[in-house]
Amino acid sequence: MKICVLMKQVASEDSPLKINSNGSGIDETNLNLITNEPDTYALEEALLIKEKTSGEVTICTLGPDSSQQVIKDGLAKGADKAIHITIENLKNVSPLSMGKVIYNKIKDENFDLVLSGLQSNDYGHAQLGIIISEYLNYSHASLVIGTEVNEENSLKIKRELENGWFQSAELTLPACLSIQSGINQPRYATLKGIMSVKNKPVDKCEAKELGISEDSGYKVEEVFLPKKAKETQILDGSTDEIVNQLTDILKNKIKVG
Amino acid sequence: MKILVLIESINNKIHPVSIEALVAAQNIASENSVEIYPLCLNKNLIDDLSKFKCTKVLNVESLDLKNYEPMTYLDAAEKVFKAMDADLIMLGHTYETRDWAPRLSARLDIPFLSDCININLSDSKLIINRPIYQAKLIQKIALSDKGLVSFQAGSFSSENLIHENSPSESLSIELNSYDSIKQGERFQESAGGVDLTASDFIVSIGRGLGKEENIPLAQNLADKINAQIGASRPVVDAGWLDHSRQIGSSGQVVSPKLYFSLGISGAIQHLVGMKGSKQIIAINKDPNAPIFEIADYAVIGDVLEILPKLTENL
Ligand SMILES: Cc1cc2nc3c(=O)[nH]c(=O)nc-3n(C[C@H](O)[C@H](O)[C@H](O)COP(=O)(O)OP(=O)(O)OC[C@H]3O[C@@H](n4cnc5c(N)ncnc54)[C@H](O)[C@@H]3O)c2cc1C
């Protein structure tokens, strides 16, 4: 199987998020950049499928130069090669534009599977992999929580539904799958894997040359902090003072135990 | 402006989040010349839908689907959108929407603003609020032209739904047949594990607890106050706790007297599982964590430092 995994670099959960001076977005100077966690499940699933069926795993990332770290980490875990579509900044690029650029790059690769994480932890559109299925004319499934490759040209999957329900489905290959977290336990890179990175090919190209469009059909006018829904009492003071307040609330207000 | 509201069928009924999307459409229509067309591919829902105020309830003559069929849905929605010359598609942000709306967006070549929480029409401009960075920030977005917008559950209240009899119409549209995606049966994994819905007190663990070895810190507190242990999804995904302890949209929905959240950020998929709790105490080191928006008592601090002392003090 030839498998492509779409991976993205995002700000980590504990990055300081500050609104920029003109209020149109976030201040990106001090972000701690990491691989989007949901994508690590997609990569792991690709590696597991490759181990079962043989084949090749290609990472594809669209993002600034810093995203090469995503590629290095993925190659160290066992991917065979990578495509890096460079762009200065992704923040004004819509999912449709990203989809078109990636499609233009991978359309002749004849991948059997294109895997992506369910959503990115920054803008959370949760669309890219499915958009690409339309451009490639592949079958698709989202919220995939299990895969079983049995025949040459079909694939069984398990999809997560609401409230603890699941559904199985059979997809004709080639297919695009958007992978839900928890499907597997992503591996760590081994020392050997890390050493192998420098010998693995990375195909670098520019989004500009692939016809990236900044016309998204919408405009972000402002970014703001959410409003509180509830009166919240903030407990402050030293740790001991906080502990005393909590104890009082638990024992006397909520009456636990 | 013409709005197509895509109605989802769940257990042969209208999905509650589709009703909320219809409320969103009615809101916009109240002061403007806006036409609303709910589209439903399950004919059983037409009668119920016709009791709600809209321009006309649409269905496709040749189609009567009780269950989700992605490729047929796509074909039908595309053709109806074009036949109606509609401007906007609105839907609930459900699992089903996640599965096919991005593809519809690509097919129609119009943008999809997913998981939004508000929409307004002012000076014939659509303004949409959309959470980003795990709900820590909200974007205010102006849609330039046509688009799809899906709404997070709870963004609009079904209590505001306007009831009024509306006509319906069957459109005769030629559809293709597809076999690239064969949907199987829906099933639940064998039950078992704990039932958290019966607990009065829940101590819930998030990724902020750091590592599996720290779970006893939370367990000790839970034992002290007679609480059950619950968890966020990443804790279960990582295998620290059994799936039956997961709280949220893909876990259990609880409303205990006390929900004591330890190192949980408060993503919407978690909140839907616990926001009905009577009292919520949250410890999180990030003052902007969305869990604080619904907490009664907030502690901005390190859970690993506070937990042992609190347990000892009780
Ligand atoms: C379709 C779908 C379904 C989902 N279903 C569910 C579901 O059912 N249930 C669910 O929970 N999630 C679900 N999720 C995932 C959800 O979006 C979040 O990713 C998840 O809830 C985050 O869990 P968390 O808060 O534990 O982790 P994180 O988001 O990583 O947050 C950890 C928090 O801990 C804080 N922290 C870190 N260290 C400390 C410390 N020492 N002291 C105090 N605080 C600390 C951090 O500030 C942060 O706020 C679902 C997602 C999707 C897309």
Average pLDDT, chain A: 95
Q: From atom 47 of ligand 1, which residue's Cα is the shortest distance away?
A: B286
What is the average pLDDT across A182-201?
A: 97
B50: helix, strand or coil: coil
Q: Does residue A228 have a pLDDT over 80?
A: no
Ligand 1 pocket member B232 (CB < 6 A): yes
CA angle, corner A95, sides to A92 and A98, nearest 5? 80
In tens, the pLDDT along B211-254 reads 999 999 999 999 999 999 999 999 999 999 999 999 999 999 99
* pLDDT-based confidence at residue A163 (cuts at 50, 70, 90): confident
Q: Does residue A43 have a pLDDT over 80?
A: yes
Distance CA B228, CA B238 (A): 20
- Chain A's closest residue to B222, CA to CA, is A257
| Residues of A in Cβ contact (< 8 Å) with B125 | none
Q: B143 and A239 in contact by Cβ < 8 A?
A: no
Distance CA A26, CA B297 (A): 28
The minimum CA-CA distance between B107 and chain A, rounded to whole Å, is 7
Token pair, residue A45, equals 């699933």
Q: Where are the domains of chain A?
A: 2-210
| Residues of B in Cβ contact (< 8 Å) with A146 | none
Choose the mutation target among A93, A134, A151 for the interface with B, i.e. most B CBs under 10 Å: A134
CA-wise closest residue to A194 among A52, A112, A74: A74
In tens, the pLDDT along A87-140 reads 998 988 999 999 999 999 999 999 999 999 999 999 999 999 999 999 999 999
- Chain B's closest residue to A216, CA to CA, is B111
Query: Is A56 in contact with A3 (CB distance < 8 Å)?
Result: yes
| Residues of A in Cβ contact (< 8 Å) with B114 | 124-127
* pLDDT-based confidence at residue A13 (cuts at 50, 70, 90): confident
| Residues of A in Cβ contact (< 8 Å) with B122 | none
Distance CA B11, CA B13 (A): 5
State whether ipTM is beyond 0.90. Answer: yes
Distance CA B269, CA B282 (A): 17
Residues 6+ apart with CB under 8 A from B312: none
What is the average pLDDT across A34-40?
A: 98
Percent of chain A scoring above 70 in pLDDT: 100
Q: Where are the domains of chain B?
A: 2-180, 196-312
Size of interface A-B (CB pairs under 8 A): 249
Report the nearest atom of ligand 1 relative to the CA of B134. 17
Q: What pLDDT does residue A230 have? A: 81
Q: What pLDDT does residue A100 have? A: 97
Q: What pLDDT does residue B40 have? A: 96
Ligand 1 pocket member B248 (CB < 6 A): yes
Report the nearest atom of ligand 1 relative to the CA of B249. 8
Helix (H) or strand (E) holding B40: strand B35-40
Ligand 1 pocket member B243 (CB < 6 A): no
Q: What pLDDT does residue B191 have? A: 66
CATH 3.40.50.620 for domain A2-210, yes or no, is: yes
Instruction: Report yes or no on whether pTM surpasses 0.90.
Output: yes
Q: From atom 31 of ligand 1, which residue's Cα is the shortest distance away?
A: B265
Which of A14, A99, A170 faces B106 most closely, judged by CB atoms? Answer: A99
Q: Cα torsion at B82, B83, B86, B91 (round to 10°)?
A: -80
Which of B103, B137, B297 faces A130 most closely, judged by CB atoms? Answer: B103
Q: What pLDDT does residue B7 have? A: 98
Ligand 1 pocket member B204 (CB < 6 A): no
Query: Residue B306, Cβ neighbours under 10 Å: how many?
Result: 21
What is the average pLDDT across A22-49?
A: 95
Q: B144 and A219 in contact by Cβ < 8 A?
A: yes
Q: What pLDDT does residue A150 have? A: 80
Choose the mutation target among A33, A144, A161 for the interface with B, i.e. most B CBs under 10 Å: A161
CA-wise closest residue to A57 among A2, A114, A115: A2
Q: Does residue A151 have a pLDDT over 80?
A: no
The minimum CA-CA distance between A198 and chain B, rounded to whole Å, is 30
What is the average pLDDT across A48-69?
A: 96
- CA B198 from chain centre, in angstroms, equals 24
- The CATH-assigned architecture of domain B196-312 is 3-Layer(aba) Sandwich (3.40)
Measure Cα distances from A154 to A43, A49, A172, A209 in Å: 20, 13, 4, 34
- Alpha-helical regions (H) of chain B: 16-29, 46-49, 70-84, 95-108, 215-224, 233-237, 268-271, 303-313
| Residues of A in Cβ contact (< 8 Å) with B236 | 182
Q: What pLDDT does residue B195 have? A: 87
What is the average pLDDT across A58-70?
A: 98
Of A5-9, A215-219, B118-122, B238-242, the range with the highest mean pLDDT is A5-9
Q: B133 and A26 in contact by Cβ < 8 A?
A: yes
Report the CATH number of the B2-180 domain.
Answer: 3.40.50.620
Report the nearest atom of ligand 1 relative to the CA of B289. 49
pLDDT in tens, chain B (314 residues): 999 999 999 999 999 999 999 999 999 998 778 999 999 999 999 999 999 999 999 999 999 999 999 999 999 999 999 999 999 999 999 999 999 999 999 999 999 999 999 999 988 899 999 999 999 999 999 999 999 999 999 999 999 999 999 999 999 999 999 999 999 989 988 667 788 999 999 999 999 999 999 999 999 999 999 999 999 999 999 999 999 999 999 999 999 999 999 999 999 999 999 999 999 999 999 999 999 999 999 999 999 999 999 999 99
Query: Is B262 in contact with B209 (CB distance < 8 Å)?
Result: yes
| Residues of B in Cβ contact (< 8 Å) with A229 | 293-294
